[in-house]
Amino acid sequence: MAKKLPDNIDEIQTEVIETDLLIVGGGNAGCFSAIEGKKINPDLKVTIMEKAHISRSGATAAGMDAINTYIPEGKTPEDLVRWSRSQVGGGPIREDLALSNAKELNQAVDDLEAWGLPIVKNEDGTFKYRGAWDISIHGEQLKPIMAEKAIEVGAEVYNRVVATSLLMDGERCVGAMGFGVKDGKFYVFRAKAVIISTGGACGLYKSYTSDATNSHHQTWMCPFNVGTGYAVGIRQEAEMTSMEQRWVATRTKDHCGPVDTISVGYKSAIINAKGDRILQKHYAHLGGDKAPRYIRANAPMEEWLAGRGPTFVDTTHLSPEEVKELKIDYLNERPTFVLFLASRGQDITKDPIEIYGSDPYIVGGHTQSGYWVDLERMTTIPGLFAAGETAGGSPNKFVGGCAAEGKLATRGAINYISSVSLPELDSKQVGQEKERVFAPLLRGPEFDGVSPLEMEERMQRLMDEYAGGTSQFYRTNEERLDYALKHLKMLQSQVIYLYAKDLHDLMNAHEVIDRLDVAEVLTHHLKFRKETRWQGWQTRSDYPEINPEFDCFVESRRNKETGEIEAFTRPYEQIVSGDRYKP
Amino acid sequence: MPPRIDIEKCDGCKAQEEPLCEQVCPGGLMSLGENMKAYCRQLRDCWDCMACVKICPVGAIETRVPYQLGYHVAKLIPMMGTDTVTWTCQDINGKVERFKYRNRNDAE
Ligand SMILES: Cc1cc2nc3c(=O)[nH]c(=O)nc-3n(C[C@H](O)[C@H](O)[C@H](O)COP(=O)(O)OP(=O)(O)OC[C@H]3O[C@@H](n4cnc5c(N)ncnc54)[C@H](O)[C@@H]3O)c2cc1C
Ligand code: SF4
Ligand code: SF4
């Protein structure tokens, strides 16, 4: 029920919490981080700061139907890295990170099974593979299972507390701040080390269904993950990597649900209006049905552009038993796809499933955009670690890899904790952040300003049309990127006009503020990479070819003094032998 | 795809401190109104994860497909057991399908 809103900043209570290890975002990676912390040292104080409620939050809120990576018998972590590298067109990827993740991966998945996750098995008891690396699960309860374990081991959980910034001691991160979206308090968490695991960024771009009544959030990625984890680091001059490598995927049309379930799990070919098998016909030289992920993601949209849409995954060969299994897969992961088919009265053995491109996301557990981290998963800010979608450099992590990385980040953080102590609380910094956070709520009823939704829609349309969104078939050029940057700056300068009617609205206000900071960095990265390396994920119509000079990482830092984003490169290092372009 | 609440069925979770649908919504969209019945504060912001539908003890919540995306009227109703879930789906032509499977094993 509506809580009485404060009239001034002094009415807002500040709560200060001290802990050893703070985890910001109790999702897939965050829960694993917490559990690992308690396992290594039961006396360690582990605290989770979570925007939603950890029982159903983030990407896995609806459940999952597969674990996309689990190393089968006879294959090695190096093989997984080779596959992952080939999926992003030979990289560059951070092979050091990818390899360490791969070595930890199977144990994390085995943990899930031990905690009660049903994994689909063959008759001989081995895991049932859907493709080369992915296993099928009945993961409707995946998130509650992880959350219950985190609580059971004794992690202290603050639900409904939205992180808005890092707490700093000079260059070092010593906690995080935020506000309670239900209780209206200001929270200061002081910690010896912080793991940021807030998931990816959805809603930077307009989704093509967003104009439909009640479908603003008909997105594939969880729309409540808005990129805050990246934004808080960007504002503290953290180095970000590969932010131009957006994740764009083929998704069910008008619903934006996963498609791998059908195309990989049920060997259904991607076809165009004429029934041509697109990948075999146009992309045979790149591997056909096994072409790199961005090619497969982009191919249906190229058909639409060429006048050969609509596009489908051809399910007309499926038996009734297979249709039933396929629907169960969706019920485990994105249940409303079954409802959607029912709302079209569609029999998928007669009418194939229509597909289309998604809006672009920043998700470092899929592509490799995010924080530049070292092997311990420490970012360039001492004391701040990243895991899951927030950590850049190693793509194709998904559920298992994000879980594995959660563990690795905790080990890194615990090593770090042994050499540090908590500095005194900087009350000036706390006061300033409190003022910034609550400003949109305290502007008074007469204030003539801008609502969070208005600003969000302006930003999403801008990004869609100028920074390579779905409506532009993901293409952009120098002039459009300059236009986007100019208007992003104007939007940032208008943040002072944002007003919030209540605490939920205040959360929405900070969501758009954070998205603007991520969008700006991403646009600078797109501008810096003057080539087209990953069509769809990153398409420059003015530089349509690969330029070997860009066989490196594009990095950036937002200069704290000038507010300018400085882009630079880092070299690629091949660690795992073999042809980079082959799995 | 927004939730639709049957206010006849909703009992406000019998005045629990935080009603279950409010607790589980990953976007914090569900709340109790003055009438002690649940409502979704921003229909357009729902991600149709169905967490609220699954947890409601009295089956008061249904997910509806917006008309711009799908036709009138399809239904998908989950029944949650302790370690199984049963879904019933009815399409716009009245065709009913049922799916039942295990969603939890005993922990080791
Ligand atoms: C629809 C869908 C289907 C998928 N299917 C598969 C699949 O079949 N197999 C597979 O392996 N992978 C799949 N994935 C990918 C996988 O789910 C993700 O890569 C992984 O779960 C991400 O983990 P994470 O911990 O980084 O993020 P999340 O699990 O999303 O966790 C982020 C957490 O941070 C919280 N948070 C966000 N902002 C704040 C803030 N400001 N303050 C505090 N907390 C905050 C969120 O509420 C959330 O709890 C799928 C993803 C989606 C969206
Ligand atoms: S969970 Fe169901 S009964 Fe409880 S408040 Fe929500 S709608 Fe009402
Ligand atoms: S379906 Fe999910 S996002 Fe929508 S109101 Fe229910 S819990 Fe919230």
Q: Residue B13 belongs to a domain with what CATH number?
A: 3.30.70.20
B29 and B50 share one domain = yes
Query: Which structure tokens are listed for A49?
Result: 């700061």
* B24 shares its domain with B50: yes
Q: What is the DSSP letter of A425?
A: P
Find chain A residues with C-beta within 8 A of B79's C-beta: none
CA A311 to chain centre: 26
Domain boundaries, given as residue ranges, for chain A: 10-63+143-246+361-417, 250-357, 427-550
A191 and A206 in contact (C-beta within 8 Å)?
A: no
For ligand 2, atom 2, name the residue with the nearest CA: B56
- The Cα diameter of chain B in Å comes to 46
What b/e sequence results for A390-402 when a residue is b if at least 16 CB atoms lie within 10 Å of its CB, and e otherwise? bbbbbbbbbbbbb
Whether residue B19 sits in one domain with residue B39:
yes
Closest CA to A142 of A188, A109, A184: A109
User: Given an 8 Å threshold on Cβ–Cβ distance, is A61 in contact with B49?
Assistant: yes
Please check whether residue A303 is in contact with residue A357, taking contact to mean a CB–CB distance below 8 angstroms: no
CA distances from B16 to B12, B23, B36, B58 (A): 8, 11, 11, 14
Specify whether B108 is located in the same domain as B81: yes
With respect to residue B40, please indicate whether it lies within any of the assigned structural domains.
Answer: yes
User: Does residue B11 have its Cβ closer than 6 Å to ligand 2?
Assistant: yes
What is the predicted pLDDT for the residue at A148? 98
Q: Residues B75, B55: one domain? A: no
Spacing, Cα A188 to ligand 2 middle (Å): 32
C-alpha to C-alpha distance for A205 and A211, rounded to whole angstroms = 13
pLDDT tens profile A171-200: 999 999 999 999 999 999 999 999 999 999
Of A1, A141, A209, the CB nearest to B103: A141
The answer to whether A498 touches A509, Cβ cutoff 8 Å, is yes
- Closest atom of ligand 3 relative to the B51 alpha carbon: 7
Q: Is residue B66 part of a domain?
A: no
Neighboring chain A residues of B55 at a CB cutoff of 8 Å: 56
Q: Has residue B93 been placed in a domain?
A: yes
pLDDT digits (tens, 9 = 90+) for A414-469: 999 999 999 999 999 999 999 999 999 999 989 999 999 999 999 999 999 999 99
A352: DSSP letter: P
The CA A458 to ligand 2 mean position distance, Å, reads: 35
Say whether both B49 and B77 belong to one domain.
no
Q: Which residues pair with A540 in a beta bridge?
A: A476
pLDDT of residue A2: 54
A1, B33: Cβ pair inside 8 Å? yes
CATH architecture of A10-63+143-246+361-417: 3-Layer(bba) Sandwich (3.50)
Q: What percent of chain B has pLDDT over 90?
A: 93
Helix axes A77-87, A95-114, angle to 10 degrees: 110
Q: Which of B18, B22, B41, B49 to mutate to test the pocket of ligand 3 (most atoms within 8 A of CB)?
A: B49
H or E segment and range at residue A411: helix A398-417
B51 ligand 2 Cβ < 6 A: no
User: Are B32 and B83 part of one and the same domain?
Assistant: no
Of A57, A115, A182, the CB nearest to B26: A57
Question: What is d(CA A45, CA A417) in angstroms, rounded to the nearest whole number?
Answer: 12
Let me know if domain A250-357 sits in CATH 3.90.580.10.
no
The radius of gyration computed from the CA coordinates of chain A, to the nearest angstrom, equals: 23
Compare A210 and A434 and report the one with higher pLDDT: A434
**Quick one: what percent of chain A has pLDDT higher than 70?**
99
Query: Which of B28, B78, B92 has the CB atom closest to A343's CB atom?
Result: B92
Backbone φ, ψ for residue A148 (5° rounding): -60, -40
d(CA A244, CA A387): 19
A335/B34 CB distance under 8 A: no
Model confidence band, residue A1 (pLDDT cutoffs 50, 70, 90)? very low
In a domain, B65, yes or no: no
Question: In this predicted model, what pLDDT tens digit does every residue of A302-329 receive, in sequence order?
Answer: 999 999 999 999 999 999 999 999 999 9
Interface of A with B in 254-293 (CB under 8 A): 254-255
Instruction: State whether B50 and B78 are in the same domain.
Output: no
Q: What is the ipTM of this complex?
A: 0.98
pLDDT digits (tens, 9 = 90+) for A467-513: 999 999 999 999 999 999 999 999 999 999 999 999 999 999 999 99
- In the three-class reduction of DSSP (H, G, I as helix; E, B as strand; rest coil), residue A119 is classed as strand
> Is there a single domain that holds both residue B14 and residue B56?
yes
Of A45-49, A286-290, A572-576, B30-34, where does mean pLDDT reach its minimum?
Answer: A286-290
In this predicted model, what pLDDT tens digit does every residue of A100-153 receive, in sequence order? Answer: 999 999 999 999 999 999 999 999 999 999 989 999 999 999 999 999 999 999
User: Which residues 476-515 on chain A approach chain B with CB closer than 8 angstroms?
Assistant: 504, 507
Assign A212 a pLDDT band (cuts: 50, 70, 90). Answer: confident
Q: Containing domain of residue B28, as a range?
A: 1-60
**Residues A337-358, buried b or exposed e (16+ Cβ, 10 A)?**
bbbbbbbbebebeeebbbbbbb
Give residues 218 to 247 of A whose Cβ lies within 8 Å of B: 218-219, 222-224
Strand order in the sheet with B96-102: B75-80, B84-90, B96-102
When scoring A153, A218, A252, A343 by the number of chain B Cβ atoms within 10 A, the one with the most, hence best to mutate, is A343
The CATH number given to A427-550 is 1.20.58.100
> Per the structure, how many domains does chain B have?
2
Entry pTM: 0.98
Q: Which residues line ligand 3 (CB under 6 A)?
A: B 3, 24-27, 29-30, 40, 46-52, 63
Distance of CA B98 to the CA centre of its chain: 17
Domain A10-63+143-246+361-417 and domain A427-550 have a common topology: no
Is the sign of the CA dihedral A232, A237, A238, A243 positive or negative? positive
Atom of ligand 1 nearest to the CA of A387: 26
